[in-house]
Amino acid sequence: MNKINFIAALTLLTMGFVGCKSIEQDVFVPEYQNTVLLPRLTIWFDQPSFENAYGANSYAVKPDNDLENPYGLVETPYGKGVHEVTEKTKLYAGDQRIQDAMNIFVTEIKSNISDPSTRRSGNVVLRIGDVYRKNNYKWSWLSGFTVGILNVCGMPMCSNRTELEVIVEIYDLRNNLVAKFNERGSSKQYMAAYYGYYEFERRAAALALEDGMMKIKELIERDAAVIKAKLR
């Protein structure tokens, strides 16, 4: 019995050390670039749509006496709480996945979809629609039975499947809608000793967004000539 207790303690200690490993940063840096780039676009991010999708609240200070706008969301041309963002923007969001989504979108637009060296010709907005998220704990009983030993060897503890409805809108400088794209992205990631409990869900969300953006980039490239003509 003492030997079993020793193995269990050693296993849990090992998992504690390796379970805090951060996700590789290149997960959040999409690489695929369109061969035909759009002119420079100002980037807008629909933060409330992501907060609703992930059940997260904003950390932004909200006025207590504004009965018409209890959430303190500022009205913009693209809806309340939709704000302009850059690579330096830090969001007051209660879920790291929202900041990740903004960072991925900014990278996509500035590096893979538009040419930042050209004259500004319009605006682009990212929203998120329906989201499906599910954790599968089918390995949990085996993890408990083996006191976590197999988890240290690489067996998952559970998995997360995330599916996102990714919505990208492109407007001209007069805020006329030029193009709108709607695609679904998905990813399934496992929780193992290599990632913490929250990190595997974060990784799934990032890769699901990138999957949806990959499909949208292909559509933007297909329609690039028409979009560029409307942005002039």
Q: pLDDT tens digits for 77-121?
A: 999 989 999 999 998 878 889 999 999 999 999 999 999 999 999
Asked whether residue 76 carries a pLDDT value surpassing 60, the answer given is: yes
What is the overall mean pLDDT for the chain? Answer: 78
Say how many C-beta atoms besides its own lie within 10 A of residue 59's C-beta.
10
Cα separation, 143 vs 191, whole angstroms: 12
Cα separation, 226 vs 58, whole angstroms: 37
Asked whether residue 64 carries a pLDDT value surpassing 50, the answer given is: no
Q: pLDDT tens digits for 120-177?
A: 999 999 999 988 876 655 555 555 545 455 455 555 566 668 899 999 999 999 999 9
Residue 10's pLDDT is what? Answer: 38
Residue 15's pLDDT is what? Answer: 43
Q: pLDDT tens digits for 6-31?
A: 334 434 444 443 444 556 666 667 77
CB-based contact 221:37 (threshold 8 Å): no
The model's pTM is: 0.77
Q: How far is CA 68 from CA 56, 65, 72, 73, in A?
A: 21, 9, 9, 10
